Chain A
Amino acid sequence: MYKITQLSIFLENKRGNLYNTLDLLAANDINIRALSLADTTEFGILRLVVQDPVKAKKILEEHWYIVKNTPIVGAELDDTPGGLSSVLKILNDEEIDLEYLYAFTHEKTEKAILLLQAEDLDNLINILTAYKVPLVPAEEVYNL
């Protein structure tokens, strides 16, 4: 229940590509919860958490995008100084290598949500749980 389906999308690094992609999703009423973009000079990987990943993936693929579902995990943090570093300290102590992370805040709860990806995601979930870091159920993230 804690595995959030993130969409990873291949994008060529060309002017207008990001806009076109997001515009396509907007036109289809897909709400974006969080976004991160990893890029090289030539191409990038757009990572999205959306309300309805199944629908979004279908729409993107209909438009010839390459989309992969990547499970990630969301941890809730206090939106205060030190919130992020406390979680990173745990991961550091436990020798977990993160692939990447990004975060977003949402107004309702005044909490920040940290999205994490690691090679062994189950292990990451177990460790965060053991340290009592509150994880956000996937459904909750989609429907924030």
Chain B
Amino acid sequence: MWNEEIECMSREDIFELQLKKLQATVKRAFDKIPFYTEKYTNANVFPEDIETLDDIVKLPFLTKDDLRACYPFGMFAVDKKEIIEVHSSSGTTGKPVVSGYTQGDIDNWGEIVARGLTMMGLDSDDIIQNTHGYGLFTGGFGVHYGAHRLGATIIPISTGQTRRQVEIMADFGSTCLIFTPSYGIYLGEVAKEEGIDFDEIGLKAIGFGAEMWTAEMRDRIEETFKTKAYNIYGLTELMGPGIGMECCAQNGLHIAEDFFYPEIIDPKTGITLPEGTHGELVLTNLERESMPVIRFRTKDLTALHYDTCECGRTLARMERITGRSDDMIKVKGVAVFPSQIEKALLKVSDIEPHYQIIVTRPDIMDEIEIKVEASEALFSDDIKEMMGVKRKIGEYIQNEIGIAVNVSLVAPKSIPRSTKGKIQRVIDKRNLH
């Protein structure tokens, strides 16, 4: 265990530690960040109102839109010179969210990822091949800092160059691979083509995350790479990967509770739900110098468990993410919202056409089809013009979401409606739930 004192702390002590840190965080946020001063004053709640952990419900939630409104540096609690690194979530609708880090934050990030890598059975002798992208995306760097902290050897190869990945894996003797499930499956196929025998390579562990996955996908990955695969959870707003990491029990992800306070709420009412109940995960930074994020609605659906894990850790476990409370979908790793499709369609026609997004994964790569019902405005007697309309819709959507889509024009009323006349906007046939 990397940090037994924290990871096996009694629940009582964890809650006490969390309360202390929460009080300090709320006070700092209120004092240093005008956004919180105003938000909490308007809600008539003040730092001294936080007397117990349960009092956290008095604080209003923070949404992605709030963070976006503070773009780029409005959420920083420290002088800009203290910030040594920034990351950013993909700018899906409007401005992206910027996440800042002080030296202390980077150290803490390394700490939580080092704990997780240890949970996966790794130590300073290991060679970690990190296929997560290095860039504004937090995936690459989070794992990188964790590996440094652990003292393992990191291969910062990033995503792509798949044949080279395979060669390096064999030549360097990588003992751990970090990837997104879909890239991992692809990497596995290429490795097979190259004649790699994973029994021979002897990987110790796989860490995967940044995408939704199913038990079948994990089975396939473990079968391909002949080792166990562990889930890693994180999000840029709060830090990055490492917020939750899976241990050898593979029974949920341990949340680094000394750094994050998790809650589960009913996404409709906002009311906190008890242990074991499924709802939306809400997270609070308990020790973030640069940018304390308090009660952030992740939109990720999961449940929390507080019983001691069979690995001996007392840290709360979250289940694997099984869905979203909003309508975001991830396609090829890119976040896509139906509102973006709507925006693109409105550029082609003044009246919003009826549409449906269909996501499939015929083999290993996601595909996205947008069915658009033809309308008076989109229809013309000229085939060339119709093909032009179709092409334009595709281009506008690609501009908006950044990935290519297949557009098909379908007959009016041909997309099934519910009894209330509503179209199900997203059909995800990838079976990720």
Supposing A40-B387, A43-B386 touch, asked if A68 and B380 sit within 8 A by C-beta, the answer is: yes
Size of the A side of the interface (Cβ < 8 Å), in residues, is 18
* Contact flags A37-50 to B (C-beta < 8 A → 1, else 0): 01010110101000
- Compute how far the CA of A109 lies from the CA of B409 in the bound complex, rounded to whole angstroms: 41
Check: B410 CB closer than 8 A to any chain A CB: yes
Q: Give B364-404 as 1s and 0s: 1 = Cβ < 8 Å from A's Cβ atoms.
A: 00000000001110011111001100000000000000000
The verdict on B414 contacting chain A, using a C-beta distance below 8 Å, is yes
Select one of B379, B382, B408, B412 contacting A64, CB under 8 A: B412
Are A42 and B408 within 8 A (Cβ)? yes
Interface 0/1 of A20-64, CB less than 8 Å to B: 000000000000000000101011010100000000000000001
- Shortest beta-carbon distance from B207 to chain A in Å: 42
**A91 CB to nearest B CB, Å:** 18
Contact residue among A17, A40, A66, A70 (Cβ-Cβ distance under 8 Å from B412) = A66
Flag if B379 contacts A10 (CB, 8 Å): yes
Q: Which of A8, A64, A117 contacts B411 (CB 8 A)?
A: A64
Cα A117 to Cα B411 in complex, Å, equals 25
Give the distance in Å from the alpha carbon of A17 to the alpha carbon of B386 in the complex. 19
Total interface residues on B, CB under 8 Å, equals: 17
- B381 lies within 8 A of A8 (CB): yes
Chain B CB within 10 A, most for which of A42, A64, A68: A42
Bound-state Cα–Cα, A10 to B374, Å: 8
A-B contact count (CB 8 A): 47
B379 touches A66 (CB 8 A): yes
Contact among B374, B382, B387, B408 with A66 in the assembled complex (CB-CB below 8 Å): B374
Q: Which of A42, A64, A70 contacts B413 (CB 8 A)?
A: A64
CB pair A68–B412 under 8 Å, yes or no, is: no
* Residues on B with beta carbons closer than 8 Å to the beta carbon of A17: 411
Which residues in window 1-27 of A have CB below 8 A to B?
A: 8, 10-12, 17
Task: Assess whether A10 is in contact with B411, with CB atoms less than 8 Å apart.
Answer: yes
- A40 contact set on B, CB distance < 8 A: 383, 386-387
Please report the C-alpha to C-alpha distance between residue A65 and residue B414 in the assembled complex, in whole angstroms: 10
- Which chain B residue shows the least CB distance to A119? B382
A94 at the interface (CB under 8 A from B): no
Q: In the complex, A99 Cα to B381 Cα: how many Å? A: 10
Contacts A/B (CB < 8 Å), 10 sampled: A10-B409, A12-B411, A38-B383, A42-B409, A45-B381, A64-B413, A65-B411, A66-B379, A66-B412, A68-B381
